[in-house]
């Protein structure tokens, strides 16, 4: 368990706080919707209700992460967000194609949703047109993905953030600054098994100590690509959910945990881990858990 010498930034968006010293604020969980097939809004509404109820019960903050993969889905998904997500709660937009990102930024502006948007994400492949659109319509927060194809170590991830690993003119910190995005989260880029996937976890305390910024990752992606788990019946979901324990254990602040359907098992599990971390941090380092932290809820 960790306590960092570098002052740690606690960044608030809506009713969610990211970052701080381990044990100070609860781990934030991003649950994904619409990864496969056409959006099912009735299913999504039910999943959101379940996730938000679990968040209230456990003290673990919840962020819905909406995957948009086709142009024809943009308007309906954003209308669903505006209708369904409470106005004090942030949400994440998860898009791969740069052209779709640009179109969605325009629509988010038109629908007055940018002030609650977490942009998932800015990475080394960000295009000039995407940067220009981000600067024109900056979201409230962005995730910077510290993926370095030349060096997957924690040092390589720092290089991408600072200077673009000499694969582009500037680093991701500069991109965010030029795009007028002040609130940033660092994703330490979980890679496939055999590609130094463990560096996504080992980089968490490195990034936190170096910059004091909220950090996390989608460690479940490593599990999804671990085909050998198919040998063990029923094990994949257990390993997928449990893999997220590594993030608070190594001092991280948020997890992109994949499908929102995992919420009923994951939220109590992360609350339990946060309680252990907070108990140790308070007794050994004098870190006081914030109001609403799972330790305050279950051990007042």
Confidence at residue 268, expressed as pLDDT on a 0 to 100 scale: 98
Confidence at residue 163, expressed as pLDDT on a 0 to 100 scale: 96
Confidence at residue 203, expressed as pLDDT on a 0 to 100 scale: 98
Residues 166-183 pLDDT 10s = 999 999 999 999 999 999
The string of DSSP letters for 50-114 reads HHHHHHHHH---EEEEEE--SGGGHHHHHHHHHHHS-TT--EEEE---HHHHHHHHHHHHHTT-G
Is there a contact between 254 and 17 (Cβ–Cβ < 8 Å)?
no
Confidence at residue 61, expressed as pLDDT on a 0 to 100 scale: 98
Q: Cα 154 to the chain's mean position, in Å?
A: 18
Given a cut of 80, whether residue 1 has pLDDT beyond it is no
Confidence at residue 42, expressed as pLDDT on a 0 to 100 scale: 97
Q: In the predicted model, what is the mean pLDDT of residues 206-230? A: 96
**What are the extents of the domains in the chain?**
10-289
Q: Residue 104 burial (CB < 10 Å; 0-12/13-18/19+)? A: buried
Per DSSP, which regions of 123-275 are E strands? 141-145, 183-187, 215-217, 254-259
Share of the chain above pLDDT 70, in %: 100
Confidence at residue 37, expressed as pLDDT on a 0 to 100 scale: 87
Confidence of residue 2 (pLDDT cuts 50, 70, 90): confident
Where helices occur in 180-262 by DSSP H, the ranges are 199-211, 220-224, 235-243, 246-249
Confidence at residue 300, expressed as pLDDT on a 0 to 100 scale: 87
Confidence at residue 75, expressed as pLDDT on a 0 to 100 scale: 97
Q: In the predicted model, what is the mean pLDDT of residues 2-21? A: 96
Q: In the predicted model, what is the mean pLDDT of residues 59-68? A: 98
Instruction: Please state the three-class secondary structure of 46-58 as a single string.
Output: HHHHHHHHHHHHH
Q: In the predicted model, what is the mean pLDDT of residues 202-222? A: 97
Residue with tokens 């930024």: 105
CA angle 277, 190, 198 (to 5 degrees): 65
Q: Residue 30 burial (CB < 10 Å; 0-12/13-18/19+)? A: buried
Give the list of residues 6+ apart from residue 176 with CB closer than 8 angstroms, or none.
Answer: 122, 142, 144, 184
Confidence at residue 186, expressed as pLDDT on a 0 to 100 scale: 98
Q: In the predicted model, what is the mean pLDDT of residues 237-266? A: 97
Give the C-alpha separation, 276 to 121, whole Å.
31
Given a cut of 80, whether residue 114 has pLDDT beyond it is yes
Is there a contact between 216 and 257 (Cβ–Cβ < 8 Å)?
no
Pick the CATH number of 10-289 from 3.20.20.20, 3.40.50.510, 2.40.50.140, 2.40.50.1070: 3.20.20.20
Give the C-alpha separation, 190 to 56, whole Å.
29
Confidence at residue 35, expressed as pLDDT on a 0 to 100 scale: 86
Give the C-alpha separation, 2 to 278, whole Å.
11
Confidence at residue 36, expressed as pLDDT on a 0 to 100 scale: 86
Q: Which of 59, 98, 66 is nearest to 295 (CA)?
A: 59
Given a cut of 80, whether residue 39 has pLDDT beyond it is yes
Residues 126-176 pLDDT 10s = 999 999 999 999 999 999 999 999 999 999 999 999 999 999 999 999 999
Share of the chain above pLDDT 90, in %: 97
């Amino acid at each position: 368990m960790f306590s960092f010498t570098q002052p740690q930034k606690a960044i608030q968006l809506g009713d969610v706080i990211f970052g701080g010293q381990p044990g100070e604020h609860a781990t934030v969980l991003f649950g994904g919707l619409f990864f496969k097939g056409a959006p099912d809004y009735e299913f999504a509404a039910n999943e959101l209700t379940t996730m938000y109820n679990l968040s209230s019960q456990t003290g673990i903050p919840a962020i819905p992460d909406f995957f948009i993969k086709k142009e024809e889905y943009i308007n309906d998904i954003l209308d669903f967000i505006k209708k369904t997500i409470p106005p004090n709660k942030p949400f994440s937009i998860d898009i791969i194609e740069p052209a779709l990102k640009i179109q969605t930024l325009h629509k988010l502006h038109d629908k007055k949703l940018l002030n609650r948007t977490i942009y998932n994400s800015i990475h080394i492949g960000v295009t000039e047109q995407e940067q220009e659109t981000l600067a024109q319509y900056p979201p409230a927060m962005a995730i910077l993905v510290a993926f370095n194809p030349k060096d997957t170590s924690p040092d390589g991830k720092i290089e991408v953030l600072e200077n673009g690993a000499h694969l582009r003119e500037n680093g991701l910190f500069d991109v965010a600054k030029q795009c007028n995005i002040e609130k940033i989260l660092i994703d330490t880029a979980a890679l496939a098994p055999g590609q130094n996937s463990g560096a996504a976890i080992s980089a968490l305390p490195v990034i936190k100590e170096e910059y004091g910024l909220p950090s996390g990752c989608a460690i479940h992606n490593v599990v999804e690509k671990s085909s050998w788990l198919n040998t063990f019946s029923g094990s994949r979901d257990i390993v997928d959910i449990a893999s997220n324990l590594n993030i608070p254990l190594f001092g991280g602040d948020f997890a992109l945990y994949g499908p929102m359907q995992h919420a009923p098992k994951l939220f109590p599990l992360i609350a339990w881990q946060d309680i252990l971390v907070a108990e140790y941090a308070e007794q050994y380092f004098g870190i006081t858990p914030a109001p609403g932290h799972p330790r305050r809820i279950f051990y007042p």
